[in-house]
Amino acid sequence: MALFSKNTLTQVSGFDNQIIAGELVYDQKTFWNLALNTDGVPINLTGVTIDAQIIRRQVSNLQDTRYGLSFDIADYVPEPDPVTLTITNRIDANGFFTLVIDESAWDVIASDPELNISAVDPVAFSGRIKLSFPAVTPTPAQDIIIFLLFLVRSDGVVN
């Protein structure tokens, strides 16, 4: 898994927010199991709406520095529609769910020039997981956001 520089992650998530960032291979299927807790106690997700979306981004100035991958991220033109990611395996009492990564749903095609094995700047997606907690007296409604950042590269076989 790629290491991203702190400056790159800050572009996406700000200074003090949670982020899941990684480098994927074109047509790769994977998942992340997430378990939310506070001081080791699971956060009960009963009644919580969980939504995850990503959108295609433009990467430029990619450099592999001693502090990790560094690059600039910007809106992709023309602006694509956001892609909804699948949330499965919810165990609300344990604060557990699975974020499914199925790159085939992202509309990246094998002939995409940014997937070329010699491409300088790869395909990128950013987004978020949004957990919307309902109001429970006396606590008002609140949202927790976990930012997402993925680079998608060719495996050298497909493109």
Domain ranges of the chain: 6-153
Q: Could you name the CATH architecture of 6-153? A: Sandwich (2.60)
> What count of other Cβ atoms lies within 10 Å of the Cβ of residue 144?
15
Q: What is the pLDDT of residue 113?
A: 66
* Global model pTM greater than 0.95: no
Q: By three-state DSSP, how is residue 11 classified?
A: helix
Helix or strand run (H / E) with residue 12: helix 6-13
Own/partner long-range contacts of 89-92 (Cβ < 8 Å, ≥24 apart): 89/33, 90/45, 90/50, 92/44, 92/45, 92/46, 92/48
> Any residues with CB less than 8 A from the CB of 3 and at least 6 apart, and which?
68, 69
pLDDT tens digits, the chain, 159 residues: what are they? 457 767 677 767 666 778 888 888 777 888 999 999 999 999 999 999 999 999 988 888 887 777 777 788 889 888 888 989 999 999 999 999 999 987 766 666 666 766 666 667 788 888 999 999 999 889 899 999 999 988 887 766 665
